[in-house]
Amino acid sequence: MKIRLLTALGAGTLLLAMQGPACAQDTNWPTRPLRMLVGSSPGGGTDAFARATAQGLTPLLHQNVVVENRPGASNTLANAITATSTDGNTMVMGVSTAMAIAPHLFKLSYKHDDLVPVVFAGAVPNVLVVNNDLPARNVQELVALLKRNPGHLNFASSGVGSTQHIAAELFMDATGTKMVHVPYQGSGPAMVDLMAGQVQVDFETAASAIPFIKSGKLRALAVLSAKRLSQIPDVPTLAQAGVPDLEMGAWYGIYMPAKTPPAVQKTLHDAVNRVLAMPTTQKILDAIGAEVTPMSQRQFIAFDKTENARYAAVIEKNHITVR
């Protein structure tokens, strides 16, 4: 099965009638500082998107936007806090791990519909990276090494059910290899242990991996996208490296409690899109391999629904479970 990122953009017109009539614009919001929750530790793609967005939102909304890391429960703890928030000033920078994968692997303390997709932020592909001491200079050498030593190497992820986890499972299925999963509470800690050799392999998001690849602290073997990344142009795609039909990436977007007034949602949606269009923001996101694809809120709602259905099918087809 080919796993493609952002295949559902065309579905945005399917749910045009989902939202009711917008109420009068609430020109008083926000009246207090805002908090943007992140479901992982500092240092990962979700954190990078949140901080870049918050930095631009503060002057636009005339209120401080504070990024608050709440790692845990495979990136869903921040969702649970946001879903039950009643202060009107809490949002979460959602990631596909928590928004489209976790609902099909875990029993959550909240319902997915308790959160409303407000604004799509962007997406980044995953990159296959290894510890520098690993005797594998390319994907085929890695596959050969894994086949000689089944179950002896460890792969890291930012949590059970993350895109790193799903990508590794699909890679092992496609290549007939076996590794041991070591989940972390976010990409930051996973990167630290990968560089130290505590784990040997990671299908990390480009946002987390690129700085370490460029500094020579990790070795990149392939990008899990349809084309090479301009930031690391010498790294082939996984298909070019001999493993076709496997693309994986993480997408990010801001969600708020479902009861948030439509006018508030619109204010935030419009403000975030202004931030994403700023050259300073684009420079920050380009450095981590991000692709910003503007969507209307209705398109994002449709995209969220389609991605949930897509990952549910992937998880069922590949028998991916929480072990």
Q: Are strands 65-69 and 90-95 parallel, antiparallel or unpaired?
A: unpaired
251 vs 161 pLDDT, higher one? 251
Q: Which pLDDT value is given to residue 159?
A: 82
Q: Is 128 helix (H, G, I), strand (E, B) or coil?
A: strand
pLDDT of 22 over the 80 cut: no
User: What tokens were used for 254?
Assistant: 């801001």
Measured between alpha carbons, how far is 235 from 47 in angstroms, rounded to an integer? 25
Of the chain, the percentage scoring pLDDT greater than 70 comes to: 91
Of the chain, the percentage scoring pLDDT greater than 90 comes to: 74
> pLDDT, tens digit, for every residue of 175-220?
999 999 999 888 889 999 999 999 999 999 998 899 999 999 999 9
Task: Look at 1-15, 96-110, 142-156, 244-258 and tell me which has the smallest mean pLDDT.
Answer: 1-15
CB atoms within 10 A of CB 126: 33
Q: How far is CA 114 from CA 46, 85, 86, 155, 161, in A?
A: 20, 10, 12, 33, 20
Per-residue confidence at 37, pLDDT binned at 50, 70, 90? Answer: very high
Domains, the chain: 32-124+250-317 (3.40.190.150), 125-223 (3.40.190.10)
> pLDDT, tens digit, for every residue of 143-176?
999 999 999 999 999 888 889 999 999 999 999 9
Q: Which pLDDT value is given to residue 188?
A: 86
pLDDT of 14 over the 50 cut: no
Q: pTM for the whole thing?
A: 0.80
